Amino acid sequence: MHFANKSNNNLINFLDRYLLLILYSSLITGFFLNENTLGGSFSDYQNQKIISQKFSEDFLNTFLNYDKEPHRHSPLLIIILSVFEKFNISDVIIRLISLHFLLLIIFFFNKCLVVKFNNINKKIVNIISLLIFLSPTFRSLAIWPDSRLYGLLFFIISILFFLKFLKSKIRRSKCKYAILNSIFLAIASYFSPNFCVFVIFFLFYFIKYFSNSKFIYILFFINIILSFPAIYYVFFLKVYFFLTPATNEINKFIIFNPANKILLISSIFLIHFLPVSFFIKKNTKKLKNYFFIILPIFLCSVYFFNYSNTFTGGGVIFKASNIIFSNNYLFYFFSLIGLLLICHLSYKNLNNFLLIFLIFLNNPQLEVYHKYYDPMLFILFFTLFNLNIKKFLLEKKILILYFFNGLFLFLNFLR
């Protein structure tokens, strides 16, 4: 036993000392080899760069007619990048600056883990945070700048202040952290509007704590002020950029179809939860009880499901099912397991139920992309979900996370 503990400590010390250098070097190597593990990151960046150049040449006209561009992302990052275009800075330099700025995602995720698991070995926390380097989405969108990662960065900072809000015993500090959470969530939403739905989660806790205080009205006022520029831009100037379709076959979607969301997001949720499940106490008996609750929802979703393999996105399992078997049967099976898992995590747990509801609400677009959930789900599992996950920090099972994430990255390289 003593030998095993010593061996484990040696492994932890080695990883803590060298893993950052190894993973950072792999990302830099990917940068110079034009790594594109998501498949569409390079083309998305090229299209974005065209609009960025337009902003540098004619800002006002491009800003007011942004919805005419074939791009439905927030214009904020494109506007920032247009400043570099204005000064004719090399594209390689622009992308290198962006890549290193986005490394702050790992830094602030680490800070979140330190706050939440404050009694755990910091070396283990460091190793967990470095898993972000293996995310196909992080690697692709760090190499080819995209607003989604910038939104995720500021979303993580908002989570950090929320965790500090929960930990603090001093009312004045709680007020400060609530305001900072709102500010950084707003910034995240300006970069990627999908994150704005999480204001419901944070306000639920703030209202609960400040219910008998005038401060809650101040917090609501701050949130309204922070959201006003976006409301004015979209609803008064009528720049509906988010309505731009991402696929030419969008006419096949006659109406918005909730069945597509239920099955696709459930399968994606399952993929990201599987490695985490090794560190949570399991109760498979309860899963049988949920089956009869989920079955009608599942069968109804299968009946109305109409997401075609010819559309963009769909997630890894959906694509694999169609590539390997030329049908959705494998995908339906994993979606059912995902729905059972979601029911299990939500049962008698309002925190998890609200988070999962917002994860579904987070993607209002007709298309469902895996990059919207990677690495966001991984980060949420270790920060905001109630999973009783501390056990993983005391075990050698940490390598399981690296195996799963490394395998997932490898499979994306084979696409």
- Give percent of the chain with pLDDT exceeding 70: 89
- Cα separation values, 315 from 53, 107, 195, 323, Å: 32, 28, 19, 12
Residues sharing a CB contact under 8 Å with residue 400, sequence separation 6 or more, in sequence order: 275, 278
Per-residue tokens: 98: 């962006």
pLDDT surpassing 50 at residue 404: yes
Q: At what angle do helices 284-304 and 258-273 cross, to 10 degrees?
A: 150
Whole-number Å distance between alpha carbons of 69 and 62: 9
What does the buried/exposed string (b/e) look like for 276-314 if buried means 16 or more CB atoms within 10 Å of the residue's CB? beebbeeeeeeeeebeeebeebbeebbeebebeeebebb
So what's the pLDDT on residue 396? 59
CB 350 within 8 A of CB 205: no
Residues sharing a CB contact under 8 Å with residue 119, sequence separation 6 or more, in sequence order: none
What does the buried/exposed string (b/e) look like for 341-369 if buried means 16 or more CB atoms within 10 Å of the residue's CB? bbbbbbeeeeebebbbebbbebbebbbbb
Whole-number Å distance between alpha carbons of 63 and 69: 10
Whole-number Å distance between alpha carbons of 366 and 258: 9
From 393, 383, 387, select the one nearest 344 (Cα to Cα): 387
pLDDT surpassing 90 at residue 413: no
pLDDT: which is higher, 222 or 411: 222
Per-residue tokens: 148: 């989604």
The model's confidence at residue 285, banded by pLDDT at 50, 70 and 90, is: low
* Local structure of 36: helix, strand or coil: coil
Q: Which amino acid is at 205?
A: Y
Average pLDDT over residues 134-160: 96
The model's confidence at residue 31, banded by pLDDT at 50, 70 and 90, is: very high
pTM value? 0.92
Going by the DSSP 8-state scheme, the letter that residue 256 receives in this structure is: -
pLDDT: which is higher, 17 or 77: 77
Calculate the CA 127 to chain-centre distance: 19
- For the chain, give every domain's residue range: 1-143, 146-244, 250-384
pLDDT surpassing 50 at residue 239: yes
Q: Which of 248-262, 280-294, 313-327, 350-364 has the highest mean pLDDT?
A: 350-364
Whole-number Å distance between alpha carbons of 393 and 352: 21
Residues 112, 114, 118, 119, CA torsion sign: positive
CB < 8 Å & 24+ apart, contacts of 288-291:
290/340, 290/343, 290/344, 290/347, 291/340
Per-residue tokens: 106: 């790992």
Per-residue tokens: 247: 């696929």
pLDDT surpassing 50 at residue 250: no
Whole-number Å distance between alpha carbons of 114 and 121: 9
pLDDT: which is higher, 68 or 240: 68
* Local structure of 35: helix, strand or coil: coil
Whole-number Å distance between alpha carbons of 173 and 165: 7
Whole-number Å distance between alpha carbons of 223 and 59: 28
pLDDT: which is higher, 353 or 119: 353
- Cα separation values, 349 from 200, 269, 342, 345, 386, Å: 16, 17, 11, 7, 8
